[in-house]
Structure 1
Amino acid sequence: MLLQAPQDTCFSPRLTLRCPGGRVLDLRQPQVMGILNLTPDSFFAGNRMGSEDELLRRAGQMLQAGAAVLDLGGYSSRPGAEHISIDEEKRRLLPALEAVRREFPEAFLSVDTFRADVAAEAVAAGADILNDISGGTLDEEMLPTAGRLGVPYILMHMRGTPQTMTQHTHYEGDMVLELVRYFRDKLTLLRQHGVVDVVLDPGFGFAKTPAQSHELLRRLPELQVLGLPILAGLSRKSLVYKPLGLTPDAALTGTIAVNTLAVLNGARLLRVHDVAEAVQTIQLVSNTFSLPPAS
């Protein structure tokens, strides 16, 4: 039997995120988050950007294609990725973030970082949302910082670090029940630190084998017990291309398939490399199944 959502919490089943400047990101219908990797070793070669002009062109294309959010990250979280210093992460991220904010002042911008200091400077530079792959486990100041900054927080499940997570795929009990417990406990901490708007990310591929990620995708509705919007980050990951004997570059069709399943199973935000295809997926699923907006 699944655990119930915590009762002593400020979180509600509201699917709107209040961002800086009084702007509201509406997730009552599924939306798309476009990935802008600022790392030289992104696992998907098609998403590597070598100049500011290329970055702005890519950002503009994603927004034009229908992305509701752009997610910028300077620290690679692919399995076994190189660990970089905080100064290097800032060097990659902050100028790019400032450029995108300047060029697209109305866009919703998310910053993909697990470091509190980077998060604080990113919000000062124009970020609207914090996307923390570690759920506050890799920097004890992240959750207090998120509360102080007053921006929406994407809470992901991961074990270990990007360098070690493939060694932490064994779950003693039911994996999905462990995720529910993890999110329940983290939500209590976030409430204590004053964070109000939260998106849950089950962390497909993070300390999970392809088979475990497929199970998680099938059982995604079980996470809705917590009453919060769910992000699905499935784009071109190993759970897509490995079972098919492909590479990330050849995994677009498979990504469309798993994104379709994610939307049908309740995901409200698709984090993707290929925005137009994800937007079309949501439109067709919504038209076919008349997805009800949540209150």
Structure 2
Amino acid sequence: MIPPAGAPLVLRGREVGRDDDGVVRPVVMAIVNRTTDSFYAPARLADDGPALAAAHAAWSDGAAILDVGGVRAGVGPEVDEAAEIDRVVPFVAEVRRQVPDLLLSVDTWRAGVARAAIEAGADLINDTWAGHDPELVEVAGAAGVGVVCSHTGGARPRTDPYRVTYDGGPLGPGDPGDPGDPVEQALDDPRDGVTRDVVATLRRGAARAVAAGVPPSSVLVDPTHDFGKNTWHSLHLLRRTEVLAGLGHPLLMALSRKDFVGETLDLPPDERLPGTLAATALAAWHGARVFRAHDVAATRHVLEMVAAVRDEAPPRAARRGLA
């Protein structure tokens, strides 16, 4: 049985990923980090020239969205709000000018950075630290742009997890304790404490975003692998992709070269592409909608192959046995 496709994504009135034949398929969100210390060296694009070249390459390789970050997610030197704005906002404005059809996302937890980025042309705010700044979602709602609601298990920005545990609990808005809730029914594994916490957090975050004015189809939900989680947690959330895709909002998966892939295979970041693509295929099969990726072309090829197996797209050049 093929799992149902996930919810569609609309940013600033533009539906993302719908083909001319009307089928909605997963899309790639490329990554440009305006930093010198990102965990994956090729993504360190602090200089304007290489960063702009990467934006053009992402568009050529088939990315629909470009996610721009100005601060390393993990522990590192302090980057204040002014410095983050300086790294990100002029670049967003220039990409908007040079590649007008490429949707732009900004990876930040700060409302001030989000406001400046939206004014420069950002279509989406990727709040990877789960509402640490409560004003951020209000900024997105007032501007009518999209927002990513994430899960960190309560971790503060730029901190690493340490012996974190999840016991589970109520699933939050959308689950008033009704045993007929399909999400409740699906969570029957003893390891689902982390899934329950993720579901509850994402439901609360999405409800708050919609209440703040963000259109429901512009609210993405992200289980946020590695953030506030160990490798066992992240692997289990990948198993639970279909549950997360059923929350009613487009599901973002940020899997690319992450530590849970590296620790599963005992490989450094520059050798994690095959593991990343395996995880990508599984998540796409089970309904994830957007994939944040360092390797755009390879990720797009995986998504196209999954779409063909799901019978959502024909082969591009089927000739074998026909000619």
Q: Could you state the TM-score of these two structures normalised by the residue count of structure 2?
A: 0.81
Structure 2 equivalent of residue 41 of structure 1? 37
- The counterpart of 1:220, out of the listed 232, 241, 260, is 241
2:227 pairs with 1:231: no
Does the CA-based 8 Å contact 1:77-1:162 persist in structure 2? yes
Equivalent residue number for residue 16 of structure 1: 9
Specify the code of the residue in structure 2 equivalent to 1:235: S
Stretches of structure 2 lacking an aligned partner (at least 5 in a row): 1-5, 19-23, 169-192, 314-323
Please say if residues 113 and 133 of structure 1, whose CA atoms lie closer than 8 Å, have aligned partners that are also in contact: yes
Distance 1:188 1:50, change over 3 A: closer
Partner of 1:269: 290
Q: Max radius of gyration: which structure? A: 2
Counterpart of 2:317 in structure 1 is none
Point out the more displaced range, 69-78 or 271-280.
69-78
Pairing of 1:1-295 with structure 2 (within 5 A): 15-19=8-12, 22-26=13-17, 28-78=24-74, 80-136=75-131, 138-158=132-152, 159-167=154-162, 169-173=164-168, 174-196=193-215, 197-291=218-312
Q: Distance in 2 between matches of 1:249 and 1:120?
A: 34
Separation of aligned partners in 1, 2:164 and 2:78: 21
Residue 238 of structure 1 deviates from its aligned partner by 0.7
> Quick one: structure 1 residues 281 and 105, their matched pair in 2 at CA, closer, same or farther if it must change by over 3 Å?
same
AA at the equivalent of 1:75: V
Query: Runs of at least 4 residues of structure 1 off by over 6 A?
Result: none
Q: Equivalent residue of 2:226, what SS?
A: coil
1:118 Cα shift? 0.6
How far has the Cα of 1:65 moved from its partner?
0.6
Question: Judging changes above 3 Å, is the alpha-carbon distance between structure 1 residues 86 and 187 closer, same or farther for their aligned structure 2 residues?
Answer: same
Q: 1:172 to 1:30 in 2, by over 3 A?
A: same
Aligned counterparts of 1:72 and 1:232: Cα–Cα separation in 2:
16
Identity of aligned residues (%): 36
- For residues 67 and 131 of structure 1, do their structure 2 counterparts lie closer, same or farther at Cα, with a shift above 3 Å needed? same
CA distance in 2, matches of 1:46, 1:18: 28
Distance 1:14 1:225, change over 3 A: closer
| Bigger RCO of structures 1 and 2 (CA < 8 A, at least 6 apart) | 1
